[in-house]
C-alpha cells in the first residue's frame, strides 16, 4: 500500500516588535528608499529578550498541532531547520520536544541555511512514506537578530525573526508532499557564513573583536546564484513530478529579495501574481520564511485544498531546492488557529507552573501542554 505524507496543520510565531526601515535609518547609514528599491523589504519582526529560536519554534509547533488536531504525545519526529540555533548542541529540536511535551518524538536540527525548511520537509515526508513514522512536526525558526551585526548595513537591513511549522501525517489517500529536489554547491561556502564559533575558528576574544561571530555575506554572488537556481529548481521539481508549470496554483518562494523573485518569475514565464510574497512585512527570516509565507497564503485563501504548490528556496552552503505538494489541510475540517489562541499558547508555554495552572484554571499537576 502506497503511503503519502500530508500537510495537515500549520502555525506561525511572529514577535510583536516591528523594526521599520525608518528605524534602521537611525542605526546605520541607509535609507528606506534604498532598502525598498534594492530588496522590497519595509519592516521586519525582532524577538523580545525572552524569546529564543526554540521558544518561537515551540509556539509555531503548538499552533500547528492544534490546527491539525494532533496532541504533542502523538508526534514521532520533530525537525527544526534553523540558521540561528539555540546552541551548537544540543539540538534546538530537543528543546522544542521538551517544551511542547512530545514525549515519544525523536528530534534533530537540520542545517541548510534558508533552504533548510524544504530539505526538512522532504526528510520528514520520506520517513512517513516509508512507514518508518506516522506524524512529524517540521519547523523553520530563527532569531537572526542575535547573529547579525547591527552596524553592518550590508546585512542588518535584510533579516528578521520568526518561526513557521507544518504537521505532516501519513495516509493512504494520494496527495501531500509529491516530489522534491535538493542541491548544494559547497564551492560557494564562503560567500555567506557565520565564520567563528565552530571547530575551525573557535570563539576567542580575537574572533569577537573582529566580529567573526556575526553573519558575513558577499551579497552580489549570492544574488547571482539565487536568480539562476530559483527558476531551475522549480522547473526540475515540476518535471520530476510529471506535471507542467500550468498545473501549479502558487509558488511559495524563500523571501529574500523582491528582485530575485522577479527574475525567477521572468525565467519561468509566470506572472508575479503566482508568487506568494510577504517579505515586505517580515524581511528574510531564513528557514522560517517559506512556512510563514505558506501559512499566510493559506489563511488568505490563496492556497486551497487540492492546490499544487511549489516551495522553492536558496541559501548559505550554498544550497537550493524545491518541493512540490498537493495542499491538504487538517484531515477533519478545522478553521485556522486564531491569533488570540496562539498568544495564549505562547503565554502558557512561557508561564511558570503556577501561572500556567492559573491561566488554564486547572487542578494541580497537569503541567505539560496538550500532552
Ligand atoms: N543602505 C545603503 N547603501 C547600501 C546598503 C544599505 N543598507 N548596503 C549596501 N549599500 C551600498 C554598497 O555599499 C554599495 O555602495 P558602493 O557602490 O559605493 O560600493 C551599493 O550600495 C551597492 O551595493 P550592492 O551590494 O551592489 O547592492 P545590490 O544591488 O547587490 O544589493 C543586496 C545588495 C540587497 C544585499 C543584494 O546583493 C542581495 O539581495 N543579495 C542576496 C542576498 C541574500 O538573499 N542573502 C540571503 C541568502 S539566504 C541565507 O542563507 C541567509
Which whole-number Å values give the CA distances from 207 to 53, 63, 140, 195, 204, in the listed order?
23, 39, 28, 9, 5
Q: Is 257 in the pocket of ligand 1 (CB under 6 A)?
A: yes
pLDDT computed for residue 1 by the predictor = 83
Closest listed residue to residue 233, CA positions, set 247, 246, 255, 251:
251
- Is domain 4-337 in CATH 3.40.47.10, yes or no? yes
Q: Is 157 in the pocket of ligand 1 (CB under 6 A)?
A: yes
From the alpha carbon of 155, which atom of ligand 1 is closest? 35
pLDDT computed for residue 371 by the predictor = 39
Output the CA 319–ligand 1 centroid distance in Å: 20
| 94 is a catalytic site residue | no
Q: Whose CA is nearest to atom 29 of ligand 1?
A: 38
DSSP line for 180-228: EEEEE-GGGGGGEE--SSSSSS---HHHHHTTTTS-EE-HHHHHHHHHH
pLDDT computed for residue 360 by the predictor = 60
Q: Whose CA is nearest to atom 2 of ligand 1?
A: 30
- Residues sharing a CB contact under 8 Å with residue 339, sequence separation 6 or more, in sequence order: none
DSSP strand E in 292-351: where? 308-315, 319-326
Q: Which three cell numbers stand for residue 323?
A: 518541493
Distance CA 75, CA 94 (A): 13
Q: Is 39 in the pocket of ligand 1 (CB under 6 A)?
A: yes
Q: Is 223 in the pocket of ligand 1 (CB under 6 A)?
A: yes
- With a cut of 70, which residues of the chain have pLDDT below it? 349-350, 352-371
Q: Is 156 in the pocket of ligand 1 (CB under 6 A)?
A: no
Q: Whose CA is nearest to atom 13 of ligand 1?
A: 154
Confidence (pTM): 0.93
- Of 37, 119, 219, the residue with max ligand 1 atoms within 8 A of its CB, to mutate for a pocket test, comes to 219
Output the CA 223–ligand 1 centroid distance in Å: 9
Asked if residue 46 lies in contact with residue 15, where contact means CB atoms within 8 angstroms, the answer is yes
pLDDT computed for residue 172 by the predictor = 96
pLDDT computed for residue 197 by the predictor = 96
pLDDT computed for residue 370 by the predictor = 44
249, with CB counted inside 10 A (0-12, 13-18, 19+), is middle
| 210 is a catalytic site residue | no
Distance CA 129, CA 168 (A): 11
Q: Whose CA is nearest to atom 1 of ligand 1?
A: 30
Q: Whose CA is nearest to atom 9 of ligand 1?
A: 154
Closest listed residue to residue 68, CA positions, set 8, 11, 128:
8
Output the CA 322–ligand 1 centroid distance in Å: 25
pLDDT computed for residue 345 by the predictor = 73
Q: Is 255 in the pocket of ligand 1 (CB under 6 A)?
A: no
Closest listed residue to residue 347, CA positions, set 55, 128, 21, 1:
55
Output the CA 154–ligand 1 centroid distance in Å: 5
Q: Which three cell numbers stand for residue 264?
A: 525567477
| 254 is a catalytic site residue | yes
Q: Is 216 in the pocket of ligand 1 (CB under 6 A)?
A: no
Output the CA 254–ligand 1 centroid distance in Å: 17
Asked if residue 106 lies in contact with residue 77, where contact means CB atoms within 8 angstroms, the answer is yes
At CB < 8 A and 24+ separation, what contacts does 217-222 make? 217/154, 217/155, 217/191, 217/192, 217/193, 218/190, 218/191, 218/192, 219/154, 221/188, 221/191, 222/191, 222/192, 222/318
From the alpha carbon of 156, which atom of ligand 1 is closest? 7
Output the CA 331–ligand 1 centroid distance in Å: 44
Domain ranges of the chain: 4-337
Amino acid at each position: 500500500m502506497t503511503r503519502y505524507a500530508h500537510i495537515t496543520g500549520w502555525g506561525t510565531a511572529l514577535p510583536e516588535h516591528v523594526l521599520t526601515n525608518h528605524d534602521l535609518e537611525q542605526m546605520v547609514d541607509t535609507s528606506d528608499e534604498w532598502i525598498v528599491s534594492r530588496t522590497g523589504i519595509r519592516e521586519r519582526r525582532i524577538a523580545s529578550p525572552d524569546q529564543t529560536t526554540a521558544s518561537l519554534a515551540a509556539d509555531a509547533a503548538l499552533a500547528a498541532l492544534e490546527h491539525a488536531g494532533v496532541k504533542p504525545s502523538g508526534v514521532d519526529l520533530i525537525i527544526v531547520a534553523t540558521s540561528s540555533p539555540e546552541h551548537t548542541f544540543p539540538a534546538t529540536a530537543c528543546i522544542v520536544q521538551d517544551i511542547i511535551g512530545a514525549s515519544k518524538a525523536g528530534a534533530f536540527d537540520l542545517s541548510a541555511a534558508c533552504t533548510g525548511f524544504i530539505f526538512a520537509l522532504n526528510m520528514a515526508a520520506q520517513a512517513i512514506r516509508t512507514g518508518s513514522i506516522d506524524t512529524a512536526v517540521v519547523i523553520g525558526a530563527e532569531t537572526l537578530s542575535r547573529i547579525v551585526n547591527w552596524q553592518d548595513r550590508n546585512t542588518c537591513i535584510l533579516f528578521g525573526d520568526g518561526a513557521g511549522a507544518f504537521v505532516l501525517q501519513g495516509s493512504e489517500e494520494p496527495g501531500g508532499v509529491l516530489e522534491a529536489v535538493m542541491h548544494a554547491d559547497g564551492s560557494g561556502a564562503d560567500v555567506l557564513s557565520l565564520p567563528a564559533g565552530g571547530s575551525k575558528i573557535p570563539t576567542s576574544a580575537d574572533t569577537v573583536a573582529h566580529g567573526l561571530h556575526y553573519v558575513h555575506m558577499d551579497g552580489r554572488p549570492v544574488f547571482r546564484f539565487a536568480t539562476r537556481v530559483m527558476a531551475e529548481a522549480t522547473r526540475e521539481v515540476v518535471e520530476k513530478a510529471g506535471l507542467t508549470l500550468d498545473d501549479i496554483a502558487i509558488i511559495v518562494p524563500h523571501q529574500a529579495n523582491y528582485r530575485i523573485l522577479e527574475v525567477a518569475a521572468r525565467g519561468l514565464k509566470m506572472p508575479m501574481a503566482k508568487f506568494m510574497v510577504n517579505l515586505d512585512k517580515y524581511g528574510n527570516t531564513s528557514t522560517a520564511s517559506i512556512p510563514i509565507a505558506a501559512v499566510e497564503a493559506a489563511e488568505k485563501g490563496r492556497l486551497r485544498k487540492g492546490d499544487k504548490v511549489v516551495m522553492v528556496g536558496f541559501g548559505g552552503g550554498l544550497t537550493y531546492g524545491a518541493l512540490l505538494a498537493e495542499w491538504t489541510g487538517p484531515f477533519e475540517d478545522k478553521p485556522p488557529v486564531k491569533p488570540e489562541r496562539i498568544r495564549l499558547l505562547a503565554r502558557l508555554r512561557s508561564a511558570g507552573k503556577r501561572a500556567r495552572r492559573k491561566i488554564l484554571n486547572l487542578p494541580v499537576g497537569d503541567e505539560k501542554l496538550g500532552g
